[in-house]
Amino acid sequence: MRCLLLVTFTVFGAGLWGSSMAEAADATAWEPAESIRQVVEHFVRSRLPQQSQDARITVQGPVEGLHFPRCGHMQARDFGAANPFGAQTVEVACLTPQVWSLYLPVQVAWPQGAVVAARALGAGHVLTEGDLAVVQRDLSSLPAGAITKPAQAIGRVLQYSVAAGQSVTQGMLAGPQLIHYGQSVPLVALGQGVRLVALGMAMENGRQGQTILARNVQSGKVVTGVVDGAGQIMVAMGP
């Protein structure tokens, strides 16, 4: 990451570089770079969630050879959009006795267990434990909805093909197939405090939340309904 270092000064009294060559030569006149970095790191860490306190924070700068007067009171704040993880920029400012400020790039890395495909897998594949692996990856590099535990994916169906090593996300997965074509299945109709159940035969495969066709075995009528989590077809009750 390219180092961003913007420096601004407001000078009072003797000025930024001191009143004499002797003071310029005196290292105690300058704020140690490590002290500046510590202020920035403390600020960044204070904003992290409690469970991520072991995140690795890297503060870049100040540039070697660039000096800042000793500071009695330093404070840090976000520069631009706040981002607890990944790349960000923090402004650190001295308020007394001389006013100065600079902007330091910061990188926050928090390795997390991420579930990835252990091999290339095709769309429609029902995931098993052997299809998955857990690797350590920086949280900021994970895609939205990334799965962190294999149990969240096992038994679910891939909607898209994935490459070996690719992160598995919630958006890639559909629920398991609960109903199969030709299967006997309960047809359930609810309405106005009444619950009616009839025996049906599935005319399509179905997963939870899908609308499929089924035939009422008794009446021979073809109906549509939504598959629920118990493998029943919920049918709208007619007038």
| pLDDT of 12 over the 60 cut | no
| pLDDT of 21 over the 70 cut | no
Residue 44 carries which side chain, given as an amino acid letter? V
- Which two three-digit tokens encode residue 99? 């006013």
Short-list 233, 228, 239, CA closest to 189: 233
**For residues 193-204, average pLDDT:** 92
**For residues 184-202, average pLDDT:** 91
The per-residue pLDDT for 191 is 81
Alpha-carbon span 67 to 88, nearest angstrom: 23
More confident residue, 119 or 10: 119
For tokens 């400012």, what's the residue?
93
Task: Let me know: does 117 contact 18? Beta carbons within 8 Å.
Answer: no
Short-list 153, 69, 139, CA closest to 107: 139
| pLDDT of 47 over the 90 cut | no
| pLDDT of 11 over the 60 cut | no
Percentage of the chain beyond pLDDT 90 is 56
**For residues 35-58, average pLDDT:** 89
The per-residue pLDDT for 183 is 94
The per-residue pLDDT for 10 is 38
Alpha-carbon span 122 to 206, nearest angstrom: 19
State pLDDT tens for residues 133-156: 999 888 778 888 999 999 999 988
**For residues 16-20, average pLDDT:** 42
**φ/ψ (deg, to 5) at 216:** -70, 115
The per-residue pLDDT for 19 is 40
Task: Let me know: does 214 contact 232? Beta carbons within 8 Å.
Answer: no
- Mean pLDDT of the chain, nearest integer: 85
The per-residue pLDDT for 121 is 96
CA dihedral 137, 140, 143, 146 (to 10 degrees): 60
User: Which residues fall within 8 angstroms of residue 196, CB to CB, at 6 or more apart?
Assistant: 188, 189, 190, 237
State pLDDT tens for residues 54-71: 888 999 999 888 899 999
Alpha-carbon span 232 to 213, nearest angstrom: 12
233-236 vs 222-227, strand pairing mode: antiparallel
